[in-house]
Amino acid sequence: MSTHDDHLTEELLDRLLASNTVESYLDGEGITDRPLPDYLHELLDAHGLTRAKVVRASGLNSTVVYDLFSGKSRPGRDNAIMLAFGLGCSLVETQRLLRIAGLSELYCRQRRDAIIIWCLNNGYDRTATDDELYRLDEPTLLRAD
């Protein structure tokens, strides 16, 4: 991960607000929009996985996963969370994936999100997380249509 990821959001906000111009902040911090496929490939490498393993672990259709990795499509929130499970993401990595994908992060005051956060933090895979969601009467990530 880049060193810019190490800065706390609050610290960056303080720097932005203290800047004389927005350009000085953007240039000084090296702020750029990070493409989702770049982050997905970074996670793939960091976790020593293949896309085929991510497909199996996530429960997503292989075409969906390949399209996300190539940048042909953007995920919906549940698909992004399933992808995070497939990539073996930590809670921090999952939140970052959601943010980069332009989706809302998991929120601990929302019951379903709290269950997912707890499962991520406790090392559950996508299947075990769906079992917990089902047990607690919340919609599962992988829907039986």
The string of DSSP letters for 24-86 reads HHHHHHT--PPPHHHHHHHHHHHTT--HHHHHHHH---HHHHHHHHHTS----HHHHHHHHHH
Which domains are delineated in the chain? 1-32 (no CATH), 36-135 (1.10.260)
Mean pLDDT of 118-140: 97
CA distances for 98 relative to 18, 89, 128, 133, angstroms:
28, 11, 21, 19
pLDDT (tens digit per residue) in 43-68: 999 999 999 999 999 999 999 999 99
Q: Is pLDDT of 3 > 50?
A: no
Neighbours of 60 (CB within 10 A): 24
Provide the pLDDT for residue 31. Answer: 61
